[in-house]
Structure 1
Amino acid sequence: MTSFSEQENTATTPHLVHPKYRPDIDGLRAIAVLAVVFFHAFPAWLKGGFIGVDVFFVISGYLISTIIFNSLDKNSFNFLAFYGRRIKRIFPALITVLVSCSMFGWFVLYPDEYSQLGKHLLGGSTFISNFVLWNESGYFDTSAEIKPLLHLWSLGIEEQFYILWPLALWLAWKKHFNALLIITTISLISFFLNIANIHSDPSATFYLPQTRAWELLAGSLLAYINIYRHPLADPQGLSTGGTLRRVLLNPAAKPNEKIIRNTLSTAGTCLIGFGILFITKEHSFPGWWAILPVSGAFFIIAAGPDAWINKNILSSKLFVWFGLISFPLYLWHWPLLAFARIIQSDVPSREARVAAVLAAIALAWLTYRFLERPLRNNQSKLQTPILVVLMASIGVAGFTIFNLAGLPNRNAVKSAEQFNSQFVGPLWKFSQNNTCVDRYKFKEAESYGWWFCITNKDEKPTLLLLGNSYANHLYPGLAANKKINNHTLLSIGACPPNMGIPSDENTETNTTPCSGYRAYHQKLLINSIIEEEKTIKYAILDGLDSQPTDDAIKTIEERISYLESHGIQVIVFAPHIRIKKDLKGCFSRPLKSGPASCDITQQTREKIFNDFKPLIDEISKTHPTVKFFDQNELFCDFLGCSLVRNGMPLFRDEYGHYSEYASAQLATLFVKWAEQHAPEILEE
C-alpha cells in the first residue's frame, strides 16, 4: 500500500539500490486499491474487494525486499537512509489525513465518538492501529463502519514489517545465513498460525502481524528468486533459490518464455478476479482463502512487465495513474465514507457514497501532486525530523483527546450533552462493582475477560436479575427506584437464563457473549448462590429469544422448575423491541439536515408478543404462579411507538441495550404493573 514509489531509481539516495521501474506493478496496485475502495463504498456489488489489501502486502514485500537484497549485495544498505525514505514516503499523506480527520471530528463528533477517534489517532501515528483494533474487537465492539481510521490496521502491519524485516535480513547477511531458508521458515510458521487460529480467534488472526507476515514474505520470496536467478550470484549456497527461479521463470531466451509469462499473468489475474467476486466477509479470512490474492499477486509480478496483460492493461496510463495515487486514495476514501455514515447514522445514500469516492480520488491526486511529489524531491535534511515531530504531535493530541473523554465542552456538541450522555456503549458502569466481585469469587471470569456482576448492597440477595446483558440493563433503574431498592439486587451472568448444558456449548472463546462454557459456569455459580444464601425470593428472567423453539421452551421450563423448587417467585420479562439502529440519528448533529424519524409501528410490538405467546401459554400451564411483564410499554403509548421518550434515547448502543434513562423509566412502569400483579415484591 505504501511502496509504489519504491521502484523509482532515485540517484539522490546513494545508500540504497532501487529496482527498475515497472509500470505494471503500479497497475496491479490500482486494481488492489480500486477493489478496496469499491468494496467499502458498495459492498453488495464487490463482495470480495477487501482482498486488495492482501495484494498490497505482496507488492510491498516484493519491492522492499528487492531494495534490501540489492543494497546488501552492494554493501550499500543504510538503516538511516532506509527508514528516512520510509518516513518521507509515508508521513506527508498520513499526517494530512490524520489532521483532517481530527479537525473535522472536532465539529461533528459527539464526545464518545471523538474520544475513540483520539485513541485511533494515537494508534495511527504510532503504527499500532492493528493492535488497537484487535483489542477493541468483539461482540460488543463499536460498529466498524463508524471508525474513520479503521483502515490503518493494514498500514500498521506493513510498518511493523518494515521495521523488523530489514534488521532480520541485515543480520542474516552479516552472519552468512541462507536468506531463502529464513524466508521459507518464517512464512511457513506464519501461515500455520493463520490456519491454526482462524476459527478459534478470528480477530487476532486478521489483525496481528504474525498471522499476516506470510503474505508480505511471499513478495520477499519473489524478490529473492528474481535477484538470485543464477546460482553463482550467491556463493554462500543460494543455488536453491536459483533453481526455484528457473522453475518458475526460465531466464533464458527460449521460444516458450512468452507462453510461461503469459500463463503466469493470466493465472494471477484469474485468482485475484475470482477472489474479488466470490470471497465474502462470511468466509474465514485470511485462512486458506488468502492464498488466492497472494498467489495471484505473486504470479502477476513474477510474469514480468512483458507479459501481455501486464504490458497492455496494467501498464496503461489509466491504471498507472491510479497506481500512483493508490496510497493517498487508500488513506482518504475510508474516512470520507465513515464520516458520511456517522453524520447520517445509517448507510449513506448511493449518491453520497459516489460523491465520497469521487472526492477521495480528487483529494488523493491533490495529495500526490502537491504534497508527496514536492516533498519527495526536496532533499532538505530538516524534512525527516520535522515530519517525525509532526507525527509525534498528532499522537500526543490523540492521547489528549482520548484522555479528556472527547472534549465534551466543545461548542459544536455542548447542546447535545444531555441526550448524548446516554450513549455509553454496551459495556457500561453498571456491568460490575467491587461489592459483587469480592462477594462472589468466580475463577472462570479471567478466561472470559468480562462478566456481569453488580449488587446494590453487601448483603445476601433477595431479588435476582437472571439473564444476559438484557437482564443487566434493568439493574440501574430498579436499584434507583425507591419501591424496589429495599431489596438486595443481584445482577449476575452473561447468558440467557435457560442456557447451561455443557454439551450444547460453543467451545470457542471470545466470539459471542456466551462463548465457551460461560453458560455452564454461570449456571453453576448462580445455583450455588441460591442454595447457599437461601435468601432469594424473586427472580426476574430477561434476555429470552422472542421466537423460542420447542427445545428453548423446554429448557426455560426446567430452569423455572429449579427456581420454584427453592421458593423463588419467577417474573418473566417478555422480550423488548430490538432494532439494530444508531439512535444518534434521532437527534440533530452538525452538518446534518435534521433528525431522522425513530418511530416504530405498533405492529412491531404485536409481532414480538405473538411470537413469544407460545412460551407464555406453555409456561402458564405448567407453572401457573409465574408472572409475565410486557416491557414494551416503554416504547408505546396511545400516540404510537418510538425509540425516543421525552426527548431521550431508549437505547445506549446499536445492540438494543437500554440507556440509563430508559432503565429508570422502565422501573417506574414495572412498579405500576407490580402494584396490581405482584404487590408482594414491593412490600419486602
Structure 2
Amino acid sequence: MIGAGRYRRDIDGLRAIAILPVLLFHAHVPGFSGGYVGVDIFFVISGFLITGIIAREVDEQRFSLVHFYERRFRRIMPALSLMILAVLAAACWLYLPGDIEGVPKSALAATLFASNLWFFTDTGYFAGGADVKPLLHTWSLAVEEQYYLGFPILLMLVARFAARWRSLIVGVIAAISLALAIALQRDTSGFTFYLLPTRAWELFAGALLALGAIPAPRPRWLREALAWSGLLSVAFAVIFYTRETVFPGITALPPVLGAALLLHSAPGTSVGRLLSLPPFVGVGLISYSLYLWHWPLIVFTEYATDAALTGWTAIAVVAASFIAAILSWRFVERPFRDARRIPARRIFQFTGGAMALLCLLSLALLAMGGWPQRFAPQVLQLAAGRTDISPARKACHDTFARGAQPCILGAKVRPDALLWGDSHGVEMAYALSLGARAEGRALIERTTSSCPPVLGYDAPKDARCARANQAALTAIRADPAIRRIYLAAFWANGEFDDPAFVAKLDATIHALRAEGRQVILIGPVPPQPFDVPRHLAHLARAGDLAQAQGVDRATIEARTRNLRALFARWQARGVTLIDPMARLCDARRCAIIHDGKPLYFDSHHLSLAGARLVIGE
C-alpha cells in the first residue's frame, strides 16, 4: 500500500490543477473549454487519499466507521453548511418566484448528500437551467459521500474474507463501472453524468493506486516521462474538450489516467517540483472552499446582470471567489479540522444541528411557494411569461422519442396540415391551431427537441433525430390529405447557417414540393442574450421597463446570412415564407415585449403571445 501517512505538497498542487480549470471554465475564460474535467481529477485524488487512510487502518485493525465519518464531517460539513445558508439567503433576496422554487429543493438535497439524484430527476423546460441553480455543483460532493457510505464497508469485508484478493476485487468493480460509463456515454438523461455507478471508477482509479495494485516506476527517466504524460493528458482535456464533447465515458480516460499518473509518478520529478511550488500548493489548500463558493457567486452575478460573465465582471467574480475561499478556509475549515479545539462529540452535534437547520429552512421556503409577496404585481406578471407556453407542449412535444402518436390540434376533423420542427415549432403549432379551429380545420404537430426538420441531418448527440425526420417524411407521403407542411426550427442558433446544412434544408423543401405539398417555412426567430421574462421582470423591478429592447437586427441577419440568401429563390418556387423578423424587428432592434406581454418564455423560444404575433393569430 502506498500514498498514506505522509503529506505530499504535489497533491495539493494537483488539487490546484483540478480547481483552476473548473473555475475558469465556469467563468467563461477562453482556453478552458474542457475545464469541467477538474471534477474528475478531484475524484481520483479523493479515491487515492481516502483509500490510503482506510486501508492502512483496516490493515492495522484499528479502523472505526465512527472515526472515519467524524473526519469526513470535519472536512465537508462546516464549509458546506455555511455556503448553503448563504445561498438560501441570497436567493430569497434576488430570485423571482419561478426561479427560487428550485433552490430550497436543491438545498435540501445538498444537505442530505443527494443532490446528484435531485439534479438527475430535475428535468424539463421549466426546471430551470444551470444559470439558476446555485447549488448544482454539489452533485459531485453527493457522488463522493455516497461512494464513502459503502466503500469502507467493502474494504472491511474484503480484509476479513478475501484479503489476498483486495486489489483484484476493487479492480473488477472499477472495470464494471467504467464499462457501464462507456456503454451509456451517449445517454441524454443525465444518468451517466450524475450518478455513482458510472462515476465510481474514477474514485476507484485512485483507490487502486493507494492499494499498491500498480507497481511504482523506479527509473527516474520513466517517472519523468509518466508524470509529464499525465500532465499533458490533463491539459489536453482541459484545452480541447468542449461542452459538445460526449462526456463522461471513454472521454473521461485522459483526465482520469492523467491524474493517476501524476499521483503515481510525480514525486521526485520536475513535474512534482512544479506542482509543489507555493502558488499551486496555496490554491490546493483552499480548493475545497474555492469549489464551494465560486459557482454560487457566478450564478448570482449572471442572474443579477442578465448576462454571462465577461471582462472585468469575470475578473471581479474570480477574485471574489478567491477571497471567499481564503476566508472560508481560514475561519471555517481549519478550526473545525482541529480535534484539539473541537472534539468529536461537538462535530457530530454541529453536523446534526446544521443539517436539521438547513432542512427546516428549506422546507419553510418550499411552503412559501416562491414567496411572491416580495414583488410588485407587474414584476410577477412579466416573470410569469416563462409559463406562457402551448397548453399541449407536455403532451404533444417529443412524441417520437416517447413512442407516442403525434397530436392533432384544432377542430375535430381530418387534418390537412402538419407542422414539422424542433422545440421552436411547439408554440407555432398551437398558434396555427387556433386559426385552424376557427376555420374548422386541424393540423398535426410533429416536433422533436434539438431536431430541425432537415433530411440527412445527424444530431451530434441524439441518433433519434434522423429517425424522427424520416418517420415524418414517411407519414407525410402516406397521407395525401396533408396539403400544407410548416417547417420550424431554431434556425438562428449559430450552427444551422452552415452552407452544407442549408443545402440539406433546400433538398428537404424540394422533396416536399415533389410530393405536391405546399411548403410554409417559418424563418429564424431572433434569439436574445438573456432570459426574456426574467430580464423584463428585473427591469420592472428597477423601474426601467421602458428601456427594454432586444438583440440588434444586424446581428441576427449576420448569423442567418446563408439561410436568408435562399428566401427569394424558395419563394419563387412557390414556398410561403413566414418571417418572424419582419414581425418582431424594426430596422435596428428586435422586440421582446408586446402589449405588456413577454414575446419569449426563455431566451430563444417564442412564448404563446410571441408565436401568435408571428403567425398573425
TM-score range for the pair, normalised by the shorter chain length = 0.7 to 0.9
Mapping for residues 267-666 of structure 1, pairs under 5 Å: 267-303=229-265, 305-307=267-269, 309-310=271-272, 312-376=273-337, 377=339, 378-379=342-343, 381-395=345-359, 397-398=361-362, 401=365, 406-407=370-371, 409-412=372-375, 415-424=378-387, 429-433=391-395, 445-446=401-402, 453=407, 455-456=409-410, 460-461=414-415, 464-478=418-432, 485-495=438-448, 499=453, 504=456, 506=458, 511=462, 515=465, 517-525=467-475, 530=479, 540-543=486-489, 545=491, 549-560=502-513, 562=515, 564=517, 571-579=520-528, 581-583=530-532, 584-588=534-538, 598-601=549-552, 603=554, 611-612=563-564, 614-615=566-567, 617-618=569-570, 620-621=572-573, 623=574, 627-636=576-585, 641-654=590-603, 656-666=604-614
Please, which runs of 5 or more residues in structure 2 have no aligned partner?
Answer: none
Q: Deviations over 1:263-288 (max 9, x none)?
A: 55444334434443444444433344
2:40 is matched by which residue type in structure 1?
A: D
2:153 corresponds in structure 1 to 167
Report if the CA contact (8 A) 2:185-2:248 is conserved: yes
1:469 partner SS: coil
CA distance in 1, matches of 2:469, 2:63: 57
Percent of residue pairs identical: 29
Structure 2: distance between partners of 1:614 and 1:50: 40
Residue aligning to 1:209 = 196
Q: Whole-Å Cα distance in 2 between the matches of residues 83 and 140 of structure 1? A: 37
Q: CA deviation at 1:179?
A: 0.9
Equivalent position amino acid for 1:205 in 2 = T
Using the alignment, how far apart are the partners of 2:561 and 2:205 within structure 1? 56
**Shift of residue 346 of structure 1?**
1.4
Q: Residues of 2 paired with 1:121 and 1:452: CA distance? A: 38
Separation in 1, partners of 2:523, 2:28: 38
How far apart, in 1, do the equivalents of 2:596 and 2:614 lie?
16
3-state SS of 1:555 partner: helix
Q: CA deviation digits over 1:433-486, x for unaligned, max 9? A: 5xx79xxx97x5535xx88736355554466444333332124545566x9535
Unaligned stretches of 5+ residues in structure 1: 1-6, 8-17, 226-240, 251-255, 672-684
Matched, 1:111 2:63: no
1:389 Cα deviation from its structure 2 partner: 4.4
Counterpart in the other structure of 1:220: 207
SS in 2 for 1:455: strand
Deviates more, 1:343-352 or 1:127-136: 127-136
Deviates more, 1:31-40 or 1:571-580: 571-580
* CA distance, structure 2, for counterparts of residue 420 and residue 603 of structure 1: 28
Q: Give the AA of the match of 1:542.
A: A
TM-score (norm 2): 0.84
Q: 1:174 to 1:590 in 2, by over 3 A?
A: farther
Shift of 1:137: 6.5
Larger mean Cα displacement after TM superposition, 318-327 or 200-209? 200-209
- Distance, in Å, in 2 between the alignment partners of 1:551 and 1:518 is 16
Instruction: Kindly provide the amino acid, as one letter, of the partner of residue 65 in structure 2.
Output: F
8 Å CA contact 2:549, 2:589 repeated in 1: no
Q: Which residues of 2 match residues 144-293 of structure 1 at below 5 A? A: 144-177=130-163, 178-199=165-186, 201=188, 203-225=190-212, 241=213, 244-245=214-215, 248-250=216-218, 262=224, 264-293=226-255
Which residue does 1:237 correspond to in 2? none
Residue 297 to residue 555, structure 1, CA distance change in 2 (3 Å): closer
* Per-residue Cα deviation, 1:654-673 (whole angstroms, up to 9, x for no partner): 2x211132234345xx25xx
User: Deviation string for 1:97-134 (max 9, x for gaps)?
Assistant: 11111111111112222123233223322323333334
Residues 452 and 588 of structure 1, relative CA distance in 2, 3 Å threshold = farther
**TM-score, normalised to structure 1's length?**
0.76
Q: Which structure would you say has the larger Rg?
A: 1
Quote the offset at 1:324 in angstroms: 2.1
**Aligned residues between the structures:** 600
Distance 2:239 2:601 in 1: 37
Alignment RMSD (CA, Å): 3.9
SS of aligned partner of 2:387 = coil
